[in-house]
Amino acid sequence: MLQRGCDLRLIEGINIGQGGFTLSHLQFTDDTLIFSSSFLFSMQNIMCILLCFKLISGLKVHFSKSSIFGVGIEDHVCDYTAQILQYKQEDLPFKYLGLPIGANSCRSLMWNPIIHNISSRLAS
């Protein structure tokens, strides 16, 4: 449904690289990451698609667990969008499946907690 929304230009994903590749969403088991422009109309269409998915499939969509992360947009735009859609606004970096997302991967500080967790599990 998200892909169809992109095809109909109801959702505007983000452009990756110079090849014209547009990324709109990634799915992992029961998690979905949705990438969109900061246009409120695109965000509202995403919300409508998720509500339709919930009605069609009967699966619960946990909007209370949903968050918005603004990258390269002004804080007040992200605040307004989060308020309209009733999502939490959060900042980068954040942890997903124990890994930091949006952090500088070249910095050793980012890897120290991961190395510590792996070392402690191997030690036992």
List, for residues 72-122, the tens digit of each pLDDT value.
888 888 888 888 777 888 888 887 777 778 777 777 777 788 888 888 889
Please give the share of the chain, as a percent, with pLDDT higher than 70.
Answer: 99
What is the structure's pLDDT at 86? 79
Q: Does a cis peptide bond (omega within 30 degrees of 0) precede residue 113?
A: no
What is the structure's pLDDT at 103? 72
What is the structure's pLDDT at 38? 65
Q: How confident is the model at residue 52 (pLDDT cuts 50, 70, 90)?
A: very high
Please give the share of the chain, as a percent, with pLDDT higher than 90.
Answer: 7
Task: Tell me how far apart the alpha carbons of residues 44 and 50 are, in angstroms, rounded to a whole number.
Answer: 10
CA-wise closest residue to 34 among 9, 63, 11? 11
